């Protein structure tokens, strides 16, 4: 019976490539199903037998722990250098886009609540 190792929905291409390379380096016999364009099927990495699934899961856990640490470090570096931030950072760098997004949010919220406001 197939074992689903990892969902590929919203996985960056570089991460998927690193996992393929990891499985190839450790000779894990896996196959891959791509996610659909419309988000109906999730896609993922699969193996057929239990022993291979256990070995692959251990490799994935170690990889994901290392990836989380490296991504967290990269985020902290970007944040400390001022490249990443909150809404004020977005407003300073792209004021028109940020203002348009805020106005769109307000318009959608207002249109959604309009029927309830008119009832009262």
* pTM greater than 0.75: no
Task: Give the separation between CA 30 and CA 41, rounded to whole angstroms.
Answer: 18
Q: What letters, b where the CB count within 10 A reaches 16 and e where it falls short, cover 52-80?
A: bbebbeebbeebeeeeeeeeeeeeeeeee
Query: Angle 50-80/13-25 helices, nearest 10 degrees?
Result: 140
pLDDT in tens, 12-33: 999 999 999 999 999 999 999 9
When comparing pLDDT for 6 and 84, which is higher? 6
Chain position carrying tokens 């659909």: 36
pLDDT at 85: 73
pLDDT at 81: 82
When comparing pLDDT for 34 and 84, which is higher? 34
Domain chopping of the chain, boundaries = 1-84, 85-120
């Amino acid at each position: 019976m197939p074992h689903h190792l990892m969902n590929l929905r919203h996985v960056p291409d570089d991460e998927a490539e690193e996992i393929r390379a990891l499985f190839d380096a450790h000779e894990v016999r896996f196959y891959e199903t791509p996610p659909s364009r419309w988000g109906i099927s999730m896609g993922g990495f699969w193996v057929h037998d239990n022993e291979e699934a256990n070995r692959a899961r251990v490799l994935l856990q170690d990889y994901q722990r290392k990836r989380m640490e490296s991504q967290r470090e990269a985020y902290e570096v970007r944040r400390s250098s001022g490249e990443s931030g909150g809404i004020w950072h977005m407003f300073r760098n792209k004021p028109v886009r940020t203002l348009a997004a805020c106005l769109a949010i307000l318009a959608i919220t207002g249109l959604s609540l309009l029927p309830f406001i008119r009832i009262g």
